Amino acid sequence: MNILLTGGTGYIGSHTAVVLAQAGHQIVLLDNLSNSDISVLARVKALTRSHIAFVHGDVRNQELVHKVLMDHHIDAVIHFAGVKAVGESVEQPLRYYDINVGGTLSLLKAMRHARVFTLVFSSSSTVYGNPQYLPIDEDHPTRCTNPYGRSKLHVEEMLADLAAADPHWRIALLRYFNPIGAHDSGLIGEDPNDIPNNLVPYIARVAAGKLECLRVFGNDYPTPDGTGVRDYIHVVDLAEGHMAALQALARTNQSLHVYNLGTGQGYSVLEVVRAFEQASGKTIPYHIAPRRAGDIATCYAQAARAEAALGWKAQRTLQDMCASAWKFQASLVLE
């Protein structure tokens, strides 16, 4: 298949590009490089020994996207491009709606014009809000407490309306839990520009000596050790989930599908710290800090639907996630 990945040089996009190109698909990456570096392209090419086309541009540029769809005879789009920091979304809601909602709307119009009707969308477990029950299945009510989450939910609703209105569409909404880790090669991974908000990139920098000490946000949650529990999923498993979703869309008669992509297993902050210490051989200094505003105690997926419908199941362990994240981090130290 000819597949367009918007946001393709980003963290999840680049890993998905590798998985798809290695499976023989023709890949086009479109990215405005607002949160990724062009050096990723050479790395993806080196890993896959394939030709990977790159278009430097904004997903909101409908004319450009239409041209890319036509020029490359695109069969399907995976839409990663977007902004994703919860705190920033509270400060800059219009930017979040513009890029995440406006960007998707523009992409959909370009796709319809080019008669490309297959779409995989990057959604998030954040659409479930504070869980009413665990594990969280796809029928769990949705509720968002910040503009980032609401932008994802708005897009999901827009896609559901579109799927209901026009039977040409084949759309998969993938609700990711907590993607972490890196490609086994250590060549690509997650390296945020600013001080990381997320746990594992932060720990990786502490292990590398770039940050002093991890703040553990709260140890008084109703969890086994009092720290927050999340469903961490290896980014390569997640990438493979996208390929499985595309394959499933090719054989379905139904327009809209919703899948959780998680492992079904939760780990606490302190369990992740210990796993990272083991993987890296480094001590991770930490102290207990107050709870972070907006955080929930526990979140993990019911992953059965994806397994049954996509034949996909996350394979990699927390050790694999930490070891690969550390390999990538260590390669940055050497650069």
φ, ψ for residue 49 (rounded to 5)? 45, 40
Does position 31 bind ligand NAD by CB under 6 A?
Answer: yes
d(CA 115, CA 109): 10
Q: Which of residues 202-221 bind ligand NAD (CB under 6 A)?
A: none
Rule CB under 6 A: say whether 243 interacts with ligand NAD.
no
Pick the stretch among 52-60, 204-212, 293-301, 326-334 that binds ligand NAD (CB under 6 A): 52-60
Residue 124 binding ligand NAD, by CB under 6 A: yes
Q: Which partner in ligand NAD, ligand UD1, none is near 230 (CB below 5 to 8 A by kind)?
A: ligand UD1
Q: Which does 269 bind (CB under 5 to 8 A by kind): ligand NAD, ligand UD1, none?
A: ligand UD1
- Nearest residue to 111 (alpha-carbon basis) of 26, 168, 52, 53: 168
Is residue 13 part of the contact set for ligand NAD (CB under 6 A)? yes
Question: At 304, which amino acid appears?
Answer: A
User: In whole angstroms, what is the distance from residue 250 CA to residue 244 CA?
Assistant: 10
CA separation for the pair 132, 123 (Å, rounded): 19
From the candidates 11, 96, 128, 148, give the one annotated as an active-site residue.
148
Tokens of 129: 């809000």
- Per CB under 6 A, 176 contacts ligand NAD: yes
| Interface positions with ligand UD1 (CB under 6 A) | 86, 124, 126, 148, 178, 197-199, 202, 214-217, 228, 230, 269, 292, 294-295
On whether the CB atoms of residues 310 and 245 are closer than 8 A, the answer is yes
Interacting residues of 46 by C-beta distance below 8 A, sequence separation 6+: 187
Q: Which is nearer to ligand NAD, 165 or 195 (CB)?
A: 195
Determine if 36 is a binding residue for ligand NAD (CB under 6 A). yes
Closest approach of ligand NAD to the CB of residue 9, in Å: 5
Residue 247 binding partner per list ligand UD1, ligand NAD, none, with a CB distance cut-off of 5 to 8 Å that depends on partner kind: none
Q: Return the range that interacts with ligand NAD (CB under 6 A); candidates 19-27, 58-66, 265-273, 322-330.
A: 58-66
Answer for which of 60, 230, 316, 327 binds ligand NAD (CB under 6 A) is 60
Smallest separation (angstroms) from ligand UD1 to the CB of 54: 25
The pair phi, psi for residue 226, each rounded to 5°, is 90, -10
Q: Is 148 a catalytic residue?
A: yes
Rg (CA), the chain: 19
CB of 251 to ligand NAD, least distance (A): 25
3-state secondary structure of 198: coil
3-state secondary structure of 248: helix
Given 26, 106, 118, 122, the residue binding ligand NAD (CB under 6 A): 122
Question: Residue 207 is which amino acid?
Answer: A
Q: E strands, the chain, where?
A: 2-6, 26-31, 52-56, 76-79, 118-124, 170-176, 178-180, 214-217, 229-230, 232-234, 256-261, 267-268, 286-289
| φ, ψ for residue 3, nearest 5 deg | -125, 130
Query: Which H or E element spans position 66?
Result: helix 62-71
Question: Judged by CB under 6 A, which of 3, 4, 5, 12 binds ligand NAD?
Answer: 12
Minimal distance, residue 128 CB to ligand NAD, in Å: 12
Residues that bind ligand NAD (CB under 6 A): 6-7, 9-13, 31-36, 58-60, 80-84, 99, 103, 122, 124, 176, 179
Active-site residues: which are they? 148
